[in-house]
C-alpha cells in the first residue's frame, strides 16, 4: 500500500493562507496584463487607425491598426520562449515580477505617445514597438501565473484554483471596457486629442498595486524541489530543446487553444468593427462587451471547477462543439440589428468560449514535466493566441473589406473552422486531470485510450 501523502509534499501547499495569497497575486497580475493588452485591441478598433495611420482610407486604416494588434500576438511566443526558459531555470516568481513591470511601462508609454500628426512616421513605428513589448510581457505572464497556482494547489482542485486566476482575463477586459466607455463619453474631439490616453495612463496605478502583492509570495514548491534535485537551477540545458524533442504535446497544446482565442477575437476585438459597420452605435457594442465580461466572470470559474469533476477534455470538447453548432445562430442574433439580441448573441458566444478556455490552465500545465513546464505550457498557449487571436481580426477584416453588402457568413465559417481545430486536438489529447506534477516526464497525452484514467504514485496521490 502506498504511504499517505505528507502534508509537506510539493504536490500542494500545506498552508491555505499561502495558496490564497498566491491565487490573489496571480489574479491581480493577470488582471493588469489583460487590462493593458486588451485595452490596445479596443483602441485599435476605435481610434488608432485615425490617429496613427491617417493617410490610409478608413478600411485600410482599420486593417493597419489590427496589424499592430497582431504584432503583439506575434511577440507572445517569443515572450513565452524567453520567460519560459528563465522561468524553468531560475524560478517562476522573478519572471512574473519582470513581465508585470514590462507590461505596465509599455502601456504607460503608449499613453504618452505623440500621434502621426505630431511626429510623423515615428508614431506608428513606436506604437508597434510598444505593442511588441506588451506581447513579450504577456507571453511570459500567463504560464507563470498559472503554474504558481497549479503547482501550489491540491491535485484534486487545480481546476478550481486555476479558474480563480483565469478570472483575471474577464476582469481585465471589464476594466478596460469600463475605462474606454467612460473616456468615450467625452466629446469626440476631446476623446481623440487626450481622452483615449487616460486608460493607458491608469495602468501605472494598477502596476503599483500588482507589484506590491506579487513580490510578497513564495516560489513554487515544485520548482524548489526540482532545483534542489538538479543542484543548479530548475532545468538542465535548454528547456525549449527538450520540449521540441518531443513536440507532439506542444502541437496539441497549441491546437486546443486556437478555438477559444479565435472566438474571443470575433466576439470582442472585431465585434466593434463588424457591429458598427452594420449599423450599431459604438455605445451599444460597448454595452455588449460589458455583459460578456460579466458573463466570463461567472462562467470561467464554473467551467474550471467542472473540469476537476468531469475532466479537462469533456469541458473543452463541449465548448468546441458549442461553437460549431451555435456560430450561425450567434451571428444571426447580431445581424438582427437589435441591441438586446446583439447582447444575447455575445453572451452566448462568451459562455461557449469560457468552456473551451477555462480548463486550459490545468490542462496545459499537466501536459509537461516540472523542468520544462513553464516553457511548454507558455509556448503552447501563446502560439494558440498568435494563430487564433492575433490574426483572426486582421483576417476577418480582410474578408469583409471591399464589400458594400457586409455579411457575417465568412465570420461564421471562420469560427466553425477554429472550433473544429480545437475539437480535433482535444479529442487526440488524453485526460490529464489529477496527474502527479512532480513526475519528471508525464505520460504522452497523445492518444486517450492509451492511458488509464487513474494511477497511484509513490506519494499516494491520484493521477
Assigned CATH topology for domain 16-216+236-450:
Growth Hormone; Chain: A; (1.20.1250)
pLDDT digit string, tens, across residues 398-430: 777 655 667 888 899 999 999 999 999 999 998
Cα 144 to Cα 51, 151, 207, 267, 310: the distances in Å are: 35, 10, 17, 27, 25
Neighbours of 281 (CB within 10 A): 11
Q: pTM of the entire structure?
A: 0.80
Domain layout of the chain by residue ranges: 16-216+236-450
pLDDT digit string, tens, across residues 65-99: 666 666 777 888 889 899 988 888 888 888 888 98
Whether pLDDT at 251 is above 90: yes
For residue 402, the model assigns a pLDDT of 57
Tell which wins on pLDDT, 18 or 250.
Answer: 250
Mark residue 220 as left, alpha or beta (left: phi above 0; alpha: psi -120 to 50; beta: remaining): beta
d(CA 367, CA 143): 13
Which of 185-194, 266-275, 301-310 bottoms out in mean pLDDT, i.e. has the lowest?
266-275
Amino acid at each position: 500500500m502506498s504511504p499517505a501523502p505528507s502534508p509537506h509534499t510539493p504536490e500542494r501547499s500545506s498552508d491555505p493562507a499561502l495558496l490564497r495569497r498566491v491565487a490573489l497575486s496571480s489574479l491581480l497580475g493577470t488582471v493588469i496584463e489583460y487590462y493593458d493588452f486588451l485595452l490596445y485591441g479596443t483602441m485599435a478598433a476605435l481610434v488608432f487607425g485615425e490617429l496613427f495611420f491617417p493617410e490610409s482610407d478608413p478600411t485600410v486604416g482599420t486593417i493597419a491598426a489590427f496589424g499592430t494588434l497582431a504584432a503583439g500576438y506575434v511577440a507572445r511566443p517569443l515572450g513565452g520562449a524567453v520567460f519560459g526558459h528563465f522561468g524553468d531555470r531560475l524560478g517562476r516568481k522573478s519572471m512574473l515580477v519582470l513581465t508585470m513591470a514590462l507590461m505596465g511601462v509599455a502601456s504607460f508609454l503608449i499613453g504618452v505617445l505623440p500621434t502621426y500628426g505630431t511626429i510623423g512616421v515615428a508614431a506608428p513605428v513606436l506604437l508597434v514597438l510598444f505593442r511588441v513589448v506588451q506581447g513579450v510581457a504577456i507571453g511570459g505572464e500567463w504560464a507563470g501565473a498559472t503554474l504558481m497556482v497549479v503547482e501550489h494547489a491540491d491535485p484534486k482542485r487545480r481546476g478550481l484554483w486555476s479558474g480563480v486566476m483565469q478570472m483575471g482575463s474577464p476582469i481585465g477586459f471589464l476594466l478596460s471596457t469600463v475605462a474606454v466607455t467612460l473616456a468615450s463619453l467625452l466629446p469626440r474631439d476631446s476623446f481623440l486629442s487626450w481622452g483615449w490616453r487616460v486608460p493607458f495612463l491608469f495602468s501605472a496605478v494598477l502596476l503599483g498595486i500588482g507589484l506590491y502583492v506579487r513580490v510578497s509570495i513564495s516560489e513554487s514548491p515544485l520548482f524548489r524541489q526540482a532545483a534542489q534535485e538538479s543542484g543548479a537551477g530548475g532545468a538542465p540545458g535548454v528547456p525549449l530543446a527538450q520540449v521540441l524533442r518531443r513536440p507532439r504535446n506542444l502541437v496539441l497544446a497549441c491546437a486546443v487553444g486556437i478555438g477559444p482565442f479565435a472566438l474571443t477575437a470575433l466576439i470582442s476585438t472585431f465585434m466593434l468593427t463588424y457591429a458598427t459597420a452594420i449599423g450599431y452605435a459604438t455605445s451599444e457594442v460597448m454595452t455588449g462587451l460589458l455583459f460578456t465580461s460579466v458573463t466570463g466572470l461567472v462562467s470561467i470559474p464554473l467551467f474550471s471547477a467542472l473540469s476537476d469533476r468531469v475532466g479537462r477534455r469533456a469541458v473543452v470538447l463541449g465548448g468546441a462543439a458549442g461553437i460549431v453548432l451555435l456560430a450561425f445562430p450567434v451571428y444571426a442574433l447580431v445581424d438582427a440589428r437589435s441591441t438586446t439580441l446583439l447582447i444575447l448573441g455575445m453572451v452566448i458566444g462568451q459562455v461557449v468560449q469560457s468552456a473551451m478556455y477555462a480548463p486550459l490552465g490545468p490542462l496545459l500545465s499537466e501536459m509537461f514535466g516540472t523542468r520544462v513546464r513553464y516553457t511548454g505550457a507558455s509556448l503552447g498557449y501563446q502560439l494558440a493566441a498568435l494563430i487564433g487571436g492575433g490574426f483572426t481580426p486582421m483576417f476577418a477584416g480582410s474578408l469583409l473589406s471591399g464589400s458594400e453588402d457586409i455579411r457575417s457568413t465568412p465570420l461564421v465559417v471562420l469560427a466553425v473552422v477554429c472550433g473544429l481545430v480545437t475539437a480535433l486536438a482535444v479529442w487526440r489529447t488524453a485526460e490529464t486531470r489529477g496527474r502527479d506534477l512532480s513526475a519528471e516526464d508525464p505520460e504522452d497525452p497523445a492518444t486517450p485510450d492509451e492511458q488509464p484514467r487513474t494511477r497511484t504514485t509513490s506519494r499516494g496521490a491520484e493521477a
